[in-house]
Amino acid sequence: MSGYTGNDHTFVICAYKESEYLSQCIDSLLAQKTGSNIIISTATPNEHIRSASDKYGIELRVNSEIPSISGDWNFALRQADTKLITLAHQDDIYLPDYLSTALEMLNKTEKPIIFFSHYAEIIDNEVRYKNPRLNIKKVLLVPMKLFKKSIFIRRRMLSLGNTICCPSVLFVNLGCLEFSREFSCNLDWHKWEELSKLKGSFVYCKRPLLYHRLHAQSETSRAIQDNTRSHEDYLMFRKFWCSPIAKALARLYSKSETDNGT
């Protein structure tokens, strides 16, 4: 067991272009019951992001590479020198007890790999705690509370879809962690699949600790519109199933994306 504190953790905010929600995200991180390190990372430096950095006194790190989701996330991961890292998505809101709950649960767990939580969605500025997608994910994640060390259980969970909310994830001591450049949409699901093979624990909190915003300008929405998401869904299902089953699951899974689900 470890004695992690807020000093061992960094929120790295992945800022992109001119999000109107960036300040709300920063406010939610500063309002955490347990203090932490905070950095802003971006590959699209602009006056909007610089103003937020100056206003809150948060250091800005600029990635000089051509913007891409995997490149941006990998650069962001390299900016933190702490054992614990959360890649904070600029449009999302973290509830005040996100970090304190994560630390409490991690400190009771032997060899944690990641921490993650359930979440609510913000759609049209309305917080929604329940809908068919959220309800299904919550049911699928029930075994994780009982069998957090089980490689078999976590792989069965991931074989039915991306049940882990990426911005809720806190990475634990994973060294040179990198997201694959093969994916532009499901790079998080792909990473969970890789991590699911490791010995250790996936630590899951069933309480919503995050408000995840869905809107038409998000990268997920664009990926759904140009069918990138459906292709990558098939590639992920193929890691668990034969081609006919993977195709059938990908078609079923796409139905949950009509309202911009992740």
Number of neighbours of residue 256 by Cβ within 10 angstroms: 16
Residues 6+ apart with CB under 8 A from 174: 113, 195
260 domain residue, yes or no: no
Q: How many CA atoms lie within 13 A of 187 on its CB side?
A: 20
Answer positive or negative: Cα dihedral of 30, 32, 35, 37: negative
152 domain residue, yes or no: yes
Distance CA 85, CA 186 (A): 20
Number of domains in the chain: 1
Q: Which residues of the chain have pLDDT under 70?
A: 1, 216-226, 256-262
12 domain residue, yes or no: yes
Q: Where are the beta strands (DSSP E) in the chain?
A: 9-15, 37-42, 59-62, 84-89, 93-94, 112-123, 126-128, 170-172, 201-214
Distance CA 121, CA 93 (A): 10
1 domain residue, yes or no: no
261 domain residue, yes or no: no
211 domain residue, yes or no: yes
Domain residues for 87? 7-255
Strands 126-128 and 59-62: unpaired
Please check whether residue 228 is in contact with residue 181, taking contact to mean a CB–CB distance below 8 angstroms: no
pLDDT given for residue 254 in this prediction: 80
Q: What is the CATH number of the domain that holds 180?
A: 3.90.550.10
